Amino acid sequence: MTYGGSERRRGGPDRRAPDVRVKIVLVDHHALFRMGMRYILEREADFDIVAEAEDHLGAFAAAQQTTPDIVLLDLSLPAPGGIETTQRIKREVPSAGIIVLAVLEDEDQLFDAIKAGAAAFVLKDIGPDDLVTIIRRVNTGEYLINDTVFARPEVASRVLQEFRELSVYGQEAEPIFAPLSPREVEILDNIAQGKTNKHVAYALSISEQTVKNHMSSILRKLSVNDRTQAVVYAMRQGWIRISED
């Protein structure tokens, strides 16, 4: 594991403002791949590679000591693997946006990455410009893993089922999913049944303002403009279904 910010290799003083840098940790068990990512990302004036790690222990230590904005993490890390590493980092440094890197498009890995709290799921053959764009978007709070999930109805259905099972246990259950919490899925289900905010509040024994707050969060996370778009989008992808009763 190595620490330290980016070094200026082209001469001249570093004029980047430290308060606008995006702190990034690179986690991959192949040194050459980490070197390649560092070379690409250090070319961005606002990116700062604060640490590198080759295994889960190094990743935990780096995340705790540097509190990064972004973690680029290889899913094929040696045991206990990238998924468990993602989940533990997310628990210990919840503010970090974790972008998992996979060799293949695997639905099981995608589903597990969602459960672990990853913000984006990308393939290792991604182009440099696309990787930079994804890092910037995740750093603003976007969950780009949505795009991947919505394109795969089977995975979306599995996620929705897990959401619903979690909601049965009540709010004391620790949310482990991104982007929607069990309560948000519950609210979206009620909205899909045609209920107003007032009726949803009554059904769930919460205030109408709380419903509005949750809806604002849902719209932001799903990147849609209104509740109708949220419901239509979720139904189209198989996340929620209207009961025929």
Integer angstrom CA distances of residue 79 from 3, 62, 85, 177, 231: 23, 18, 9, 22, 39
- For residue 25, pLDDT over 80 is answered with yes
- Given a contact cutoff of 8 angstroms between Cβ atoms, the answer to whether 135 and 103 are in contact is no
**What pLDDT does residue 173 have?**
43
- Given a contact cutoff of 8 angstroms between Cβ atoms, the answer to whether 40 and 65 are in contact is no
Specify the CATH number for the domain of residue 19. 3.40.50.2300
Same domain, 113 and 193: no
Q: Is 150 exposed, middle or buried (0-12, 13-18, 19+ CB in 10 A)?
A: middle
Specify the CATH number for the domain of residue 160. 1.10.10.10
- For residue 242, pLDDT over 60 is answered with no
Nearest alpha-carbon partner for 173 in 47, 78, 165:
165
Question: Identity (one letter) of the amino acid at 132?
Answer: V
DSSP state of 140: T
Same domain, 41 and 117: yes
**Model confidence over 114-162: pLDDT tens digits?**
778 888 899 999 999 999 999 998 898 777 776 666 666 676 667 666 6
Range of the domain at 182: 153-236
**Model confidence over 167-214: pLDDT tens digits?**
444 444 444 444 677 788 788 888 887 788 899 999 999 999 899 888
Same domain, 207 and 103: no
Which of 129, 150, 171 is where one domain is finished? Answer: 150
**What pLDDT does residue 169 have?**
44
d(CA 59, CA 57): 5
- Average pLDDT, stretch 65-93? 91
- For residue 69, pLDDT over 90 is answered with yes
d(CA 58, CA 35): 16
Residue 68 pLDDT level (bands cut at 50, 70, 90): very high
- For residue 71, pLDDT over 50 is answered with yes
Same domain, 10 and 114: yes
Residue 102 backbone phi and psi in degrees, to 5: -120, 155
**What pLDDT does residue 215 have?**
87
**Model confidence over 80-106: pLDDT tens digits?**
999 999 988 988 888 899 999 999 888
Same domain, 135 and 182: no
pTM over 0.85: no
Count of domains observed in the chain = 2
**What pLDDT does residue 43 have?**
93
Q: Residues in the chain, how many?
A: 245
**What pLDDT does residue 147 have?**
66
**What pLDDT does residue 177 have?**
46
**What pLDDT does residue 164 have?**
56
| Residue 15 or residue 198, greater confidence | 198
- For residue 37, pLDDT over 90 is answered with yes
